[in-house]
A = this chain, B = another copy of it.
Amino acid sequence: MVERKDFLQEPVKHIKINGKITVDQLIQQYGNAGSFGAGRLSVACDIYERMLRDDDCTVFLALAGAVVPAGMRSLIADLIRERLVDVVVSTGANMVHDALEAVGGHHYKGHWQVDDYLLYKYHIYRIYDVFVPEEDFIKLDYTLVKIYDAMAAENEGKSLSSKDFAWELGKRLDNPNSILRAAYETQTPIFLPAVRDSEFGYAYLLHASRKNAEKTLKVDAFKDVLEITEICKRSPRIGMIVIGGGVPRNTVQSAALASEKGMDYAVIITMDRPETGGLSGSTLAETVSWGKVKSKADKIMVIGDAMIIFPIIVASVIERLGENFKRIPYIQRENLLAAIGGS
């Protein structure tokens, strides 16, 4: 029985800012206050830190929303290289925009209130307040078709998983800031469960229109289910950081369920809400009923714009870990990847 005094243990400590402070010093204050978004954000930092200090935890990053064109490309590539993320599950589009910069294209700072018909006539695409010139997409398409042709030739008669596809791209994109490249070089699995739903699909159209059916690239819609489930099964513990929701979130959660395991750590950053019943806004409590996340898991949902929230979490945790922190992911240490076609 919870007694009255149990509810009145720890007073809110009010935030004080007297001069220059580091990001983690601010987050510590948020933790002392402990309320509303500030409390949630500080808990999210604690959980990510704990995931990283847990040697036997495989850390998934689920990536939806146009955060790569908006400025998170290097941040994510660095997290992969620094072994602060072990597996990535992404929308196709985020990797399209990663590849677009890898082939020399750019995203431009724009504005959300603009004459979209003028942009259309100028062949400039808008993603909220980011602009992308069509010629950069055309350059990307051109490169992708060549890559697809090569991939198809090298893998004739073989169906790739979306992870194979992503690594094959990374292999051919020689750009150090590229997420795909970083994932390939570090053999970090990167799954694209809805890969066709992006410019990768349009490039396939171009590629397929010039080939007879047997010679086209084959990516199997289901194959990555086996791979991601295997990773969950073999990892002693699993955790996820979700940016946005959608297919990437669902894919990670389903893998945790399919492996009959349940996640031990979960941080979700979203603006969606639960009442309309969509997956992206569903609560972490709800995931417990399915066994996707453990009842006792360290878990928190932060309500906010990931472009604001996620870099804060990263900055806070990097500060906590310090310069000498080194981490070898369980899946690399135990060579889990051999089981799913890594090297």
Contact = CB atoms under 8 A, between A and B. Distances in A.
Contact of A208 (B8, B127, B222): B222
Contacts of A72: 14-15, 33
A75 to B, nearest CB: 5
A159 B196 contact: no
Given A9-B108, A120-B289, A124-B8, A276 B282 contact: no
User: Most chain-B CB neighbours within 10 Å: which of A37, A65, A108, A319?
Assistant: A37
B119 A7 contact: yes
A7 to B, nearest CB: 5
A140 B283 CA distance: 25
Interface string A205-248: 10010000000011111101110010000000000000010110
A208 to B, nearest CB: 6
Interface stretch (A22-30, A167-175, A326-334): A22-30
A33 B247 contact: no
Given A246-B247, A323-B19, A37 B196 contact: no
Contacts of A11: 106-109
Contacts of A67: 36, 277
Interface stretch (A51-59, A180-188, A301-309, A335-343): A301-309
B221 A162 contact: yes
Contacts of A208: 222, 226
A251 interface: yes
A64 interface: yes
Interface in A75-110: 75, 78, 93, 106-110
A143 interface: no
